[in-house]
Protein backbone atom coordinates (compact mmCIF):
# COMPACT_ATOMS: atom_id res chain seq x y z
CA UNK A 1 0.00 0.00 0.00
CA UNK A 2 2.95 2.31 0.63
CA UNK A 3 3.92 2.02 -3.05
CA UNK A 4 0.58 3.34 -4.32
CA UNK A 5 0.87 6.88 -5.65
CA UNK A 6 -2.71 7.98 -4.93
CA UNK A 7 -5.59 6.86 -2.73
CA UNK A 8 -6.90 3.61 -4.15
CA UNK A 9 -9.42 0.85 -3.63
CA UNK A 10 -7.39 -2.07 -2.25
CA UNK A 11 -8.45 -5.62 -1.51
CA UNK A 12 -6.11 -7.50 0.84
CA UNK A 13 -6.48 -11.26 1.03
CA UNK A 14 -5.02 -12.81 4.18
CA UNK A 15 -5.12 -16.19 5.83
CA UNK A 16 -4.50 -14.50 9.18
CA UNK A 17 -7.65 -13.74 11.12
CA UNK A 18 -5.36 -12.09 13.68
CA UNK A 19 -4.14 -9.53 11.14
CA UNK A 20 -7.59 -8.93 9.66
CA UNK A 21 -9.21 -8.53 13.10
CA UNK A 22 -6.31 -6.44 14.36
CA UNK A 23 -6.76 -3.91 11.57
CA UNK A 24 -10.54 -3.97 11.26
CA UNK A 25 -11.69 -4.50 14.86
CA UNK A 26 -9.05 -4.15 17.56
CA UNK A 27 -6.78 -1.30 16.43
CA UNK A 28 -9.28 1.43 17.34
CA UNK A 29 -9.36 0.19 20.94
CA UNK A 30 -5.60 -0.26 21.07
CA UNK A 31 -5.06 3.34 20.00
CA UNK A 32 -7.72 4.60 22.44
CA UNK A 33 -6.02 2.65 25.27
CA UNK A 34 -2.54 3.92 24.36
CA UNK A 35 -1.58 0.68 22.61
CA UNK A 36 -2.73 -1.63 25.38
CA UNK A 37 -4.70 -4.79 24.74
CA UNK A 38 -7.81 -6.02 26.57
CA UNK A 39 -5.62 -7.44 29.36
CA UNK A 40 -3.86 -4.09 29.83
CA UNK A 41 -0.57 -5.41 28.47
CA UNK A 42 1.22 -3.56 25.67
CA UNK A 43 0.21 -4.70 22.18
CA UNK A 44 2.91 -6.90 20.66
CA UNK A 45 4.56 -5.59 17.48
CA UNK A 46 3.08 -2.13 18.01
CA UNK A 47 5.56 -0.64 15.52
CA UNK A 48 4.38 -2.99 12.78
CA UNK A 49 0.70 -2.37 13.56
CA UNK A 50 1.30 1.38 13.41
CA UNK A 51 3.10 1.03 10.08
CA UNK A 52 0.26 -1.08 8.65
CA UNK A 53 -2.41 1.35 9.86
CA UNK A 54 -0.52 4.30 8.39
CA UNK A 55 -0.11 2.49 5.06
CA UNK A 56 -3.81 1.72 4.77
CA UNK A 57 -5.05 5.12 5.95
CA UNK A 58 -5.24 6.95 2.61
CA UNK A 59 -6.89 3.99 0.89
CA UNK A 60 -10.27 2.31 0.81
CA UNK A 61 -9.16 -1.13 2.03
CA UNK A 62 -11.23 -4.29 2.12
CA UNK A 63 -9.75 -7.12 4.20
CA UNK A 64 -10.74 -10.59 3.00
CA UNK A 65 -9.93 -13.71 4.98
CA UNK A 66 -9.14 -16.94 3.10
CA UNK A 67 -8.56 -20.31 4.71
CA UNK A 68 -4.84 -21.06 4.67
CA UNK A 69 -3.54 -24.30 3.16
CA UNK A 70 -6.93 -25.03 1.68
CA UNK A 71 -6.18 -24.87 -2.03
CA UNK A 72 -6.48 -21.13 -2.74
CA UNK A 73 -3.88 -20.78 -5.52
CA UNK A 74 -2.73 -17.28 -4.63
CA UNK A 75 -2.61 -18.05 -0.90
CA UNK A 76 -0.48 -21.13 -1.58
CA UNK A 77 1.81 -19.02 -3.77
CA UNK A 78 2.16 -16.34 -1.10
CA UNK A 79 2.94 -19.02 1.50
CA UNK A 80 5.61 -20.52 -0.74
CA UNK A 81 7.23 -17.14 -1.40
CA UNK A 82 7.21 -16.24 2.30
CA UNK A 83 8.74 -19.60 3.25
CA UNK A 84 11.48 -19.23 0.64
CA UNK A 85 12.28 -15.71 1.83
CA UNK A 86 12.46 -16.84 5.46
CA UNK A 87 14.75 -19.73 4.54
CA UNK A 88 17.11 -17.37 2.71
CA UNK A 89 17.46 -15.35 5.92
CA UNK A 90 18.29 -18.37 8.10
Encode the chain (90 residues) as per-residue pLDDT tens digits.
999 999 999 999 999 999 999 999 999 999 999 999 999 999 999 999 999 999 999 999 999 999 887 888 888 899 899 999 999 998
Give CA separation, 62 vs 22, 53, 83, 85, 87, in Å.
13, 13, 25, 26, 30
**Which CATH class name applies to 10-89?**
alpha beta
pTM: 0.82
Parse the chain into domains and list their residue ranges: 10-89
19-28: which pairs have CB atoms within 8 A and are 24 or more residues apart? 19/63, 20/63, 20/64, 20/65, 22/49, 23/52, 23/53, 23/56, 23/61, 23/63, 24/63, 27/53
Amino acid sequence: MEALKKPSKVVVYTDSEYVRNGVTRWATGWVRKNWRGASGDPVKNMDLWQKLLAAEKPHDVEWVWVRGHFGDVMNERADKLATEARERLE
